[in-house]
A = this chain, B = another copy of it.
Amino acid sequence: MKYTSLAIDDPAELIFGVAPHPLTTREGMVIGGGTVYPELNFTLPPITIDAAGMAEVRRNYADIIEGALGRAAELTAPGVVIEFETLPPMTEHPEWGMEIVNILIEGMEREKARSGLKSVLRMTPNDNREFERPPLMRRGRYWEAMLQLFEGSAAAGAELLSIESVGGKELHDEALVNGDLAASIFSLCILGERDMRFLWTHLNDIAKKHGVYCAGDTACGFGNTAMVLAEQKMIPRVFAAVVRAVTAVRSLVAYECGAVGPGKDCGYENPILKAITGFPMAMEGKTSACAHLSPMGNLAAATCDTWSNESVQNIKLLGGMAPTCYMEQLIYDCRLMNCARAEGRDSARMLQRWLVESDVATDPQAFIISPESSVELARAIVGSDSHYHAGIAVARKAVSLLREANAAGRLRIAGNEAGWFDTLDDTLDDLPDSEGEFISQQLALADSTKFIAAEYGLT
């Protein structure tokens, strides 16, 4: 493990707007340097993306960036992060993705010239490797096209590189619906860890070459899938919360390979990573209700350095186009945090505490990413000698934190969930200490039509 100690060990310091290692953009936005910035993400309304439809696609993105940045300028935002998360055909055909990158960058420059508004582009090509099943993780046309888009956008001026990588997910959906924590640890800490290391080493090379930053990854396809499934009452919330803790081990690998933040918005594991690495983090919560409901709408803001809406379609609301409306909402959220911060540490700390208290007792997933829990979970990770052991340690810690809080009445857990603590602990007790043995066990259980072990360097 690269990180063996914590960058932040006091929950009070694990707070919005300030990170031990802030990051300065070319235009001088200092992320983690005392100001929370809005981070806007948007997507298309129902239209087809193909050669014929690209004119309309372009028009959509051009309208989005003009409308949203115009509003940000009117509201005198101190700067904004624009995230462009591609849709599959845009990564498959990097030339389409690049057309949009250029439209966005032009729009950002135009607004800068007009009003002086600072902005920075986070580029998040979507990970198409799963389009082949079982997926090729380290070669093939999807891999090539994806790297090409990263390279092109870094060259064009996208300063923050991100991805929501899928390595290990082939087995994880199954693990979730089965409530199988062992398989989840295998997906995240064995397969995920290896894929992340391979992928982020490549991304780091690209970032270095073009003088841009590797920002971070998210175990979205794991932790957020769990969250959405829990929200829909498909799986227990306590299970989703423990899975969330384990996702931190996977997402950490990006930072081990050179990423410096801000971590990707939908990584609700980011508070744990901020405690470990000291890098700034994007977070999302109530103002991403447009993209998914959340049990930690306020609490998620307690530790954020940029504050995101996750994703909203370019459709018309009564107040205007939805991305413009959400830009406004994000800006007001940020203004409040920045006001408290401007008054000093104690004031900021006070707001952080309310944001936490708002949600912490209502849901195990909220509880698990509170500053207090995050520091403890982070400690469990940096105290481990391997990612596999870190996965076990952080899961164990998560179960025990939840158990205690429940027992002490500091956390409300539904009646049909309480039994899951024992189930999860039993699973953890049964895991072998030897990583090799664990891998053999899991490979034997895994559906071999779904994934190729060699693509993870396992054989």
CB pair A336 B354 closer than 8 Å = yes
CB pair A362 B286 closer than 8 Å = no
CB of A298 within 8 Å of the partner chain: yes
- Number of residues of chain A lying within 8 A (CB) of chain B: 48
CB pair B319 A339 closer than 8 Å = no
Cβ distance A170 to chain B, nearest Cβ, rounded Å: 24
CB pair B336 A358 closer than 8 Å = yes
CB pair A332 B285 closer than 8 Å = yes
Cβ distance A73 to chain B, nearest Cβ, rounded Å: 12
CB pair A293 B335 closer than 8 Å = no
Residues of B within 8 Å of A297, CB to CB, are 328-329, 331-332, 335
- A340 CA to B358 CA in the complex, in Å? 9
CB pair B340 A289 closer than 8 Å = no
Residue of B nearest to A315 (CB): B315
Q: A169-207 CB contact bits vs B (8 Å, 1 = yes)?
A: 000000000000000000000000000000000000000
CB of A9 within 8 Å of the partner chain: no
Residues of B within 8 Å of A76, CB to CB, are 362
- A336 CA to B16 CA in the complex, in Å? 15
CB of A357 within 8 Å of the partner chain: yes
CB of A307 within 8 Å of the partner chain: no
Residues of B within 8 Å of A315, CB to CB, are 315
CB of A290 within 8 Å of the partner chain: yes
Of B285, B290, B359, which is within 8 A of A317 by CB? Answer: B290
Of B286, B322, B343, B354, which is within 8 A of A328 by CB? Answer: B286
CB pair B351 A286 closer than 8 Å = no
Cβ distance A101 to chain B, nearest Cβ, rounded Å: 22
CB pair B335 A359 closer than 8 Å = yes
CB pair A358 B339 closer than 8 Å = yes
Of B287, B290, B328, which is within 8 A of A318 by CB? Answer: B290
Of B322, B331, B332, B350, which is within 8 A of A347 by CB? Answer: B350
Cβ distance A74 to chain B, nearest Cβ, rounded Å: 8
CB of A312 within 8 Å of the partner chain: yes
Copies of this chain assembled into the complex: 2
- A71 CA to B336 CA in the complex, in Å? 26
Cβ distance A193 to chain B, nearest Cβ, rounded Å: 30
Residues of B within 8 Å of A329, CB to CB, are 286-287, 289, 297, 329
CB of A251 within 8 Å of the partner chain: no
CB pair B319 A292 closer than 8 Å = yes
CB pair A319 B291 closer than 8 Å = yes
CB pair B290 A332 closer than 8 Å = no
Q: A272-304 CB contact bits vs B (8 Å, 1 = yes)?
A: 000000000000011111111111011000000
Residues of B within 8 Å of A317, CB to CB, are 289-291, 312-313, 322
Q: A69-95 CB contact bits vs B (8 Å, 1 = yes)?
A: 001000110000000000000000000
- A352 CA to B26 CA in the complex, in Å? 36
Of B324, B335, B336, B358, which is within 8 A of A332 by CB? Answer: B358
- A312 CA to B319 CA in the complex, in Å? 9
Knowing A318-B313, A347-B350 are in contact, say whether A289-B336 is a contact too (CB < 8 A). no
Interface residues of A in 254-280 (CB under 8 A from B): none
Interface residues of A in 322-367 (CB under 8 A from B): 322, 324-326, 328-329, 331-333, 335-336, 339-340, 343, 347, 350-351, 354-355, 357-359, 362
CB of A134 within 8 Å of the partner chain: no
Residues of B within 8 Å of A339, CB to CB, are 354, 357-358
Knowing A315-B315, A339-B357 are in contact, say whether A328-B289 is a contact too (CB < 8 A). yes
CB of A306 within 8 Å of the partner chain: no
**Given contacts A285-B332, A290-B325, A347-B354, could you give 17 more A-B pairs where the C-beta distance is less than 8 Å?**
A286-B328, A287-B329, A288-B319, A289-B317, A289-B325, A290-B318, A291-B318, A294-B328, A297-B331, A297-B332, A312-B317, A313-B317, A313-B318, A315-B315, A332-B359, A336-B358, A351-B354
In the A-B complex, list the 3 residue pairs whose CB atoms are closest, starting with the nearest: A297-B332, A286-B332, A289-B325
